Amino acid sequence: MSTSDFEKELNLLSPLIQKRYLAQPEDSKHKAAKPTHIASMIDHTLLKPNVLTEDVISLCKEAREHRLFSVCIPPSHIPIAKKELRESDVKICTVVGFPLGTQTSASKTFEARNAIEIGADEIDMVLNVSALKSKKYDLVFKEIETIKQVCSGKTLKVILETSYLTKEEIILSCIIVRAAGADFVKTSTGFAPTGATKEDIELMRKVVGKNFGVKASGGIRTKEDAEIMITAGASRLGCSASLQIIGASKQTNSEQGNY
């Protein structure tokens, strides 16, 4: 990404978004984390539509035993996870506006607030790709900003769904997300044609800087996949094949899908 390319995309945004983005401290070149503690970077993910209560219980047990960072589950299963993880350091992550991101801002805001109230520690919200591609940048910005406000200090990750975005749109999205006050940019829902790529992670890291979160998700199935993403700049991984990645077991029944 050249300086001229970046400035061209930045100038498409409103003065407020530009000001918010540029007001944040400039970072030196990102230094990739050494992939030695992969387990502590994993959001152990189970977002299938047919997930059962016993699946969530198993997911939580696996996360506790292997010291994974969090479990990422549908909102309706938060109470189960909260009970299973009550004496654990494992965080509870859930999704908002999932998987398309086309819900109204009011709907997403309610989802986020409710999820926090019932026990979520982190929110992964889906960016409104339709609005972004329609160049409604202020709408995208305001939605993220509002949801961050209702998160009450909890971590907010914004899923860009990079599979549907051009390089220029990824740059714009990253600028908007950071300017709006979120904590992470994330590649994918796992429901799009493709997931995380090394090239997208490198680009996202370059735009947001070294002190902002970048989550790679979608298609990470092996330890090698995980190491590639971490070296490219990912600070968190969304995986359903978590145990396979850390060498704890072969793929289990819960480790399915595109995550």
Kindly state the tokens that stand for 215: 């989550």
Listed in sequence order, the DSSP H helices in the chain are 3-10, 15-23, 53-66, 78-84, 105-117, 129-133, 137-150, 167-179, 198-208, 223-232, 242-246
Q: Which of 108, 148, 157, 215 is catalytic?
A: 215
Rounded distance between C-alpha atoms, residue 181 and residue 213, angstroms: 12
CA gap 126, 187 in Å, rounded: 10
Q: What is d(CA 188, CA 163) in angstroms, rounded to the nearest whole number?
A: 7
Determine whether 136 is an active site residue.
no
Catalytic residue among 186, 200, 206, 225: 186
Contact 9, 171 (CB under 8 A): yes
> For this structure, is 215 an active site residue?
yes
Q: Tokens 């714009």 map to which residue? A: 172
Task: Identify the active-site residue in 55, 121, 124, 183.
Answer: 124
* Cβ within 8 Å of residue 131, ≥6 positions away: 139, 140, 143
Residue 124 known to be catalytic = yes
Positions annotated as catalytic residues are: 124, 186, 215
